[in-house]
Amino acid sequence: MQVIQSTTPIFITMVCCLHGDETFGLKVFNFYQPKLKNLPGLRLILANEEALAQNKRFIDEDLNRCFPGAANGNTEARLAYRLLPHIQETEIVLDIHTTTSDIEVTPIVTSLNARVRQVINACGSTEVCLMEPPIAGKSLIGQVGAGVSLEFGQDYAQLSGMEYVESMIEVLLHHTSRLPKARKIFSVSHTIPLEISLPNDAKNFTFIPELGGYPFLLGEKSYTTHQGFAADSHSTITC
Ligand SMILES: [Zn+2]
């Protein structure tokens, strides 16, 4: 794990490569590293370096499912335990991911408090995924008051991912805001079991009668125990 920052206090902590096979996170880390001295209040963490070196999602266990971790646990449990203080002493945590599912960028949040709405405002996305405990309980963003995971579709990450991150960081670090707009909040309630057969044209955020809900991260290749997540309902907020 590498933790780098220029000055304190830290306003935003950006976590890259919680999953070692999502190399867009490394691109973000390398992009910001030389610029940090001009970005007071930003901290960067390169999380699972061991998995990154092996181009694997994790070594022993999914790091995003094992918080708060344990001092004497397996590789990821120990890493989660070491990461925790760094993400807790900051106002905002941004957690960079990529997915093979067909999306551009979707923020995932665990609450809709004022600080989280400030981060959503800095995002271009209209769809937001709300994952409350128990689903988010052992995830990184489940450990902090204002944590937002950003799921980038692989193609979008290649094309425009850096610009998306840059524009968010600029808005947040300068304490400015974008014009508020309507955001669809999808409340994720469960995972989609493998045995449910979904229509071929099933799309993220589009209602599926067989499912009785709206899928998210549908067909993500790293999921082996489910086919993605499902939201029972959605609501609209403006921020
Ligand atoms: Zn990930």
Cα distances from 19 to residues 55, 94, 98, 152, 173, in angstroms, run: 9, 14, 9, 13, 25
Judged against a pLDDT cut of 90, whether residue 8 lies above it is answered with no
pLDDT at 122: 97
For residue 129, pLDDT over 90 is answered with yes
Distance 225 CA to ligand 1 centre (A): 15
Say whether pLDDT at 52 is over 90: yes
72 CA distance to ligand 1 middle (Å): 24
Distance from the alpha carbon of residue 21 to the mean position of ligand 1, in angstroms? 8
Confidence check: pLDDT of 147 > 90: yes
- Rounded average pLDDT over 80-86: 97
- Mean residue pLDDT of the chain comes to 95
**Residue 107 has what pLDDT?**
98
**Contact partners, residue 192, CB within 8 Å, separation at least 6:** 198, 211, 215, 218, 226, 227, 228, 229, 230
Distance from Cα 189 to the centre of ligand 1, integer Å: 19
How many Å lie between the centroid of ligand 1 and the Cα of residue 156? 15
pLDDT at 165: 98
CA of 64 to the centre of ligand 1 (A): 8
CA 32 to chain centre: 18
What percent of the chain is modeled with pLDDT above 90? 91
**pLDDT tens figures, 188-227:** 989 999 999 999 899 999 999 989 999 999 989 999 999 9
Burial of residue 200 (CB within 10 Å: 0-12, 13-18, 19+) is exposed
Distance 94 CA to ligand 1 centre (A): 12
Q: Indicate the pTM of the whole model.
A: 0.95
CA distance linking residue 128 with residue 103, whole number of Å: 12
- How far apart are the CA of 209 and the centre of ligand 1, in A? 28
Q: Using the mean position of ligand 1's atoms as its centre, give its distance from the Cα of residue 98 in Å.
A: 6
**pLDDT at position 136, please?**
85
Give distance in angstroms: CA of 97 to centre of ligand 1: 4
The structure tokens 């300068």 sit at 174
The CA 150 to ligand 1 mean position distance, Å, reads: 9
Residues 6+ apart with CB under 8 A from 82: 1, 69
What is the 95 CA–ligand 1 centroid distance (Å)?
9
Residues in the chain: 239
pLDDT for 135 equals 82
* C-alpha 18 – ligand 1 centre gap (Å): 6
62-79 confidence digits (pLDDT tens):
999 999 999 999 999 999
Side chain identity at residue 178, one-letter code? R
Q: Quick one: DSSP state of residue 175?
A: T
C-alpha 135 to ligand 1 mean position (Å): 15
Residue 178 Cα, ligand 1 centroid: separation in angstroms? 27
Angstrom distance (rounded) from CA 219 to CA 223: 8
pLDDT at site 149: 98
Average pLDDT score over residue span 42-71: 97
Residue 148: in which H helix or E strand, if any? strand 147-153
Beta-bridge partners for 91 = none
Q: Is 90 exceeded by the pLDDT of residue 6?
A: no
